[in-house]
Structure formats: C-alpha cells, structure tokens
C-alpha cells in the first residue's frame, strides 16, 4: 500500500510540476509577445530632445514595448558609407548610454542602434530598411535652429514610413539631453 | 612551410600602374646579379617601355598557346617552368584566370605548383583582387573585380612588399601615358582612376599589409616562445594591446561592445568582437536581426566582428583570444545558473584559467544596479 501511495504521490507531484511548467512557459511567451513591440526613437547629435525622449519612454512603458534609440550618423560624401566613424561613435555612445540608463530606470527594455547615411533622410531610410518597429517617435524642431527634425524631414518620414509616426514638438527652453557637440561632456554618465 | 618548398614574395599595390611589375623585375635583376638562376615565367608589360627594358637580360620562358572558342590565347607554360627548374621564377599577375585547357583554373594554383617544386616565386597582385576586400573595394570604387584570389594565398606568402605611390603621382603617370595606351586614358580617368577611389584603395592596401605584418610578428613571437619552452600558448607576446569582447545575440551585448570600444580607444588598441553560435542550430529571426545590428555597430566602431561556430563557448573564446593575441577579454554579466549548471565551472573562471596573462573583465549589467532615482522615474 505504501508503495502505491508513494507512486500516486509521485504521479501527483509530476502532474503538478508539468502544469506549473506550462504556466511558466505561457507567461514567458506572453511576456515575449508583449515585449515584441518596438518603438524607434531616431535622433542626431544636435537634436536629442528631452521631452521627446520622456514621451517615447512613457509610450514604451505603457505598451510594454522595447525602445529602439537610433543615433543617426552623417557620413560625408568623400568617405565610404561603410567606413568606421570613431568621432561619430564618440558622440553617439554616451548619448545611447544616457538613454539606456533613463530607460532602465523607467523599466523599459532598450535595443540601441547607430544608422549611417549621407543625410538625415538617407539615414532614416536606412533605418526603415534595416529595423523592425511598430511606431516611430521623433522630435520636431520648434524652429530651424532648434533640436529635432525639420518640418521637411518630418513630412518626408510621414510619407515614407509604413509604421505609425509620432512627431512631438518639444518645449524650446528645456529640450536637450546630454551635451551638444560643442559643449563639454560634463553631464554624461561614466 | 614544408622543407624544400619554394619561397613566395608578393608585390602588392593599390591599382595598375603603381610599379609592381617593375619592382618585381628590379628585384629579379638584383637576384640574378648576385648569382641566382632567375627566369621570367610570365610577364605582362602592358606595352610599357620601361617595364620591358627592366626585363632585359633575364631569361624569359615562352608562353603556351591555347585556343579557346576559336580564339588563340597565351598562357604561362607551367610544365616548361617545372622542366627548367630555375632557382627563382618571376610570375606576373597572381590573380589571373587561366583559359580552359591548362593545368589549373587560376594562376595562383600554378604558382603553388611551382613552389611545391622547390622554386622560389616573385609575383604581383592588386589589393582589389583579394577575396575578402572585393566587396569593400566594390563599394569604395563602384567597380566589381571578377578575378579574385583567396586571402590565404597572400597571407601564406613569405614576404609581402607594398608598392606604394600617391594617388596624385599615379594619375600623373596615367596622364603621361605610362600606364595605358592613349586611347584608354580618358575612360580610365572617368571610371576607376579617380582621386577618391585611389585614396581609398591606397588606404586599403596599406592596412592590409600592416595587418599582415602584425599577424606575422605575433605568430613569430609565439613560435619563438614555444621553442624556449615558455608559457607561449598562454601569454601573448604582442607589444600593443588587443581587446576581445564576447557577445551574445541579445541587446544587452551592445553594452559590452560599447565598453570594450571605449577601453580600446583609451588604450589605442584594436577591438575584436566574438560571437559564438551553436553549430547546426538555425538562427531565430530576432537573432538574425541582432547579428545584423552588431555587424553595423562594429562597422561604425571599426571593430572586427568574428563569428565562430562551437559547442563550447569558453573553448572557442580561448582559441580566438590566442589566435588574435588578445590582452583583454571583456564579457557581459553571466545569467544566474540553475540546476546542474551550477556544478560546472563558470565561463569567466575557465577564461582566466585558459588565458594566463590575459585580463578578463566582466561588464556590469545596469539593470542589477540599485539606483535611488528608480522610484522617481517611475
């Protein structure tokens, strides 16, 4: 009898383990599906807008999406499009690191990118070609000298992107994260 | 190299007209003057008078006539070289594709046969003919080169001599009719021979030769240490630093690459990024996307992306670190191990044990850091 009881207990334990395992796997799968949504956030060295980043993080968190910050690097015509760009990388990496830290504090997963192009639109076209995302958040510049994308770039993106484009107009006074290229990099994390 | 095999010396240049053949003939003349038996196995002077003049006094073997599609063609006569058995044979245009009907499809295969017979060979090649650089050169110049040779042909050469000329000097030579006949000059100037193309090709050639020199120095260093019975396999003898970042196909790995790149910039060192994949396992879509992203990131950073297939990550990493003479290995924070995996030795500890004298750095995972700003942000 004790052997039968032991067998039954073993079977019961096994069944419970299998059920628990399935629940865990399904939860994980659901989590993966939820996280599969991707929100692209392209920016340039001179145009990383604080309100646009905050908005992109809020959207990503509410939609359980992954934020894809994309640094757009401009390649001069005299250089190959595939060439190494250490000076651009020097600019891009601290900015991506800053965004990553903000995103982690906000509980948003991040998958950073650097896209090269001859112009902002070319880099955006490369981004559209290379990356998979459901929404694209960009900062529209309040004026020609402000941070963000020009109205022409925004219009171009809206007509060329298959994903939803959210163009945000940042407040002119407090719209920059990290240093501009011509400013010392005092605010950057280690 | 097996005993009795001939020595190969390759004269490499950025483009036609830099003077590779001329330099090869000059060195051939010097060898002949010093008493060696030198013959010209194949020479393509392209009608250049100074090149033809440089060949004077050297025995030139006859070319072999081959008829292909009713067209008579001339190829190098490999059996004649092997029958003549000189000490040194000069064979121009290493990347040439032979006409069907001769022993080998490519000339570098003929050269290997000559070397196997114990005959030393001097040969010439342009950098755009190297297989691994073919795509890069096509992107730089917009010209696709069809005749290529495997990189290991040049890598295995005993000596590689860069024949260098500034783009301006080469253009001046071209305009003076020293490279092509007059009717071909305008086409050449409008297509391939542009200053930006030549500058990019020159840089590629210089890098290629510098990397070759570096790898030979490192290999020689290892061999020397083995002979002396030191811990050669474990301690790279490179004077400079070289970093190796171990990555997986996840977004977290980008942080490791970024950290490694920062360190490499500070040290003035080269950076290799190694991704080890399991053999025979098809990659998932997200893994392919991550791999492409990693490729682009490495390309922007100027890092070398290496993809290895292996069952054992530590073993592959140790092998690559030794081959590349890495002095630092950087890796991400390992995931917590569960179950029986806890009993196995960790990757970091295996690397430390397998790579004596090499620093192993673990890049911290920011998600694990306690941050006072967390609640505030949320």
What pLDDT sits at residue A85?
A: 87
Per DSSP, the three-state class of A165 is strand
What pLDDT sits at residue A27?
A: 60
Residue B292 at interface with chain A, using a CB cutoff of 8 Å? yes
Distance CA A142, CA B195 (A): 42
Cβ contact (<8 Å) for A130 and B296? yes
Q: Tokens for B224?
A: 């020397």
Residues in chain B: 378
Residue A143 at interface with chain B, using a CB cutoff of 8 Å? no
What pLDDT sits at residue B173?
A: 84
ipTM value for the complex: 0.73
- Shortest CA gap B91–chain A (Å): 34
Q: What is the mean pLDDT of residues A72-96?
A: 85
Residue B116 at interface with chain A, using a CB cutoff of 8 Å? no
What pLDDT sits at residue A6?
A: 87
pLDDT per residue as tens digits for the range A139-170 = 887 665 556 788 888 888 888 888 899 988 75
Residue A38 at interface with chain B, using a CB cutoff of 8 Å? no
B57: left (phi over 0), alpha (psi -120 to 50) or beta: left
Query: Would you say A70 and B254 are in contact if contact means Cβ atoms under 8 Å apart?
Result: no
Q: Which of the four pLDDT bands, split at 50, 70 and 90, describes residue A17?
A: confident
Mutation for testing the B interface, residue in A93, A94, A108 having most B CBs under 10 Å: A93
- Shortest CA gap B338–chain A (Å): 15
Cβ contact (<8 Å) for B299 and A84? yes
Low-confidence stretches of chain B (pLDDT < 70) are: 1-3, 132, 135-136, 139-142, 208, 211-240, 340, 366-378
DSSP per residue, B28-60 = HHHHHHTT--EEEEE---TT-HHHHHHTTTSEE
Residue B366 at interface with chain A, using a CB cutoff of 8 Å? yes
- Shortest CA gap A52–chain B (Å): 15
The whole model's pTM is what?
A: 0.52
Contacts of A78 in chain B (CB under 8 A): 196
β-pairing, B88-91 with B242-247?
Answer: unpaired
Contacts of A89 in chain B (CB under 8 A): 261, 300-301
What pLDDT sits at residue B219?
A: 52
| CB nearest A132 (choices: B289, B299, B373) | B289
pLDDT per residue as tens digits for the range B88-116 = 999 999 999 998 888 899 999 999 999 99
Query: Would you say B328 and B263 are in contact if contact means Cβ atoms under 8 Å apart?
Result: yes
């Amino acid at each position: 009898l004790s052997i039968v009881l032991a067998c039954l207990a073993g079977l019961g334990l096994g069944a419970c383990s299998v059920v628990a395992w399935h629940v865990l796997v399904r939860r994980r799968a659901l989590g993966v599906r939820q996280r599969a949504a991707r929100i692209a956030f392209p920016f340039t060295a001179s145009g990383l807008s604080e309100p646009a980043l905050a908005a992109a993080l809020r959207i990503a968190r509410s939609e359980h999406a992954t934020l894809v910050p994309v640094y757009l690097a401009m390649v001069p015509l005299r250089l190959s499009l595939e060439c190494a760009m250490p000076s651009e990388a020097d600019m891009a990496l601290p900015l991506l690191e800053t965004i990553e830290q903000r995103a982690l504090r906000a509980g948003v997963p991040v998958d950073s990118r650097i896209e090269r192009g001859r112009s902002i639109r070319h880099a955006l076209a490369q981004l559209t070609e290379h990356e998979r995302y459901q929404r694209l958040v960009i900062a529209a510049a309040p004026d020609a000298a402000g941070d963000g994308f020009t109205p022409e770039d925004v219009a171009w993106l809206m007509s060329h992107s298959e994903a939803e484009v959210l163009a945000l107009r940042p407040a002119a006074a407090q719209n920059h994260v990290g240093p501009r290229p011509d400013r010392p990099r005092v605010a950057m994390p280690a | 190299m097996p005993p009795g095999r001939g020595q190969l010396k390759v004269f490499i240049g950025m483009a036609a007209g830099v003077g590779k053949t001329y330099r090869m003939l000059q060195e051939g003349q010097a060898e002949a003057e010093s008493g060696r038996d030198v013959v010209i196995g194949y020479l393509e002077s392209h009608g250049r008078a100074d090149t033809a003049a440089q060949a004077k006094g050297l025995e030139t073997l006859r070319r072999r006539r081959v008829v292909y599609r009713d067209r008579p063609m001339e190829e190098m006569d490999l059996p004649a070289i092997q029958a003549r058995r000189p000490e040194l044979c000069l064979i121009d245009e290493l990347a040439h594709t032979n006409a069907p009907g001769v022993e080998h499809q490519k000339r570098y295969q003929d050269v290997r046969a000559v070397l196997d017979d114990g005959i030393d060979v001097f040969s010439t090649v342009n950098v755009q003919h190297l297989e691994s650089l073919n795509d890069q050169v096509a992107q730089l110049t917009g010209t696709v080169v069809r005749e290529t040779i495997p990189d290991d042909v040049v890598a295995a050469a005993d000596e590689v001599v860069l024949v260098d000329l500034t783009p301006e000097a080469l253009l001046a030579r071209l305009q003076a009719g020293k490279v092509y006949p007059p009717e071909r000059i305008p086409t050449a100037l409008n297509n391939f021979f542009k200053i930006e193309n030549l500058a990019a090709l020159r840089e590629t050639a210089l890098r290629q030769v510098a990397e070759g020199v570096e790898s030979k120095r490192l290999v020689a260093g290892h061999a020397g240490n083995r002979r002396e019975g030191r811990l050669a396999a474990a301690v790279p003898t490179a004077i400079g630093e070289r970093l190796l970042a171990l990555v997986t196909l996840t977004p977290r790995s980008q942080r490791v690459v970024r950290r490694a790149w920062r360190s490499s910039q500070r040290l003035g060192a080269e950076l290799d990024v190694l991704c080890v994949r399991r053999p025979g396992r098809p990659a998932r879509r997200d893994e392919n996307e991550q791999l492409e992203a990693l490729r682009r990131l490495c390309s922007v950073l100027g890092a070398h992306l290496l993809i290895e297939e292996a069952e054992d990550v530590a073993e592959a990493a140790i092998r690559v670190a030794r081959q590349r003479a890495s002095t630092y290995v950087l890796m991400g924070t390992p995931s917590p191990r569960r179950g029986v995996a806890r009993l196995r030795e960790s990757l970091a500890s295996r690397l430390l044990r397998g790579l004596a004298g090499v620093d192993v750095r673990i890049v911290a995972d920011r998600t694990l850091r306690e941050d006072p700003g967390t609640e505030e942000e949320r």
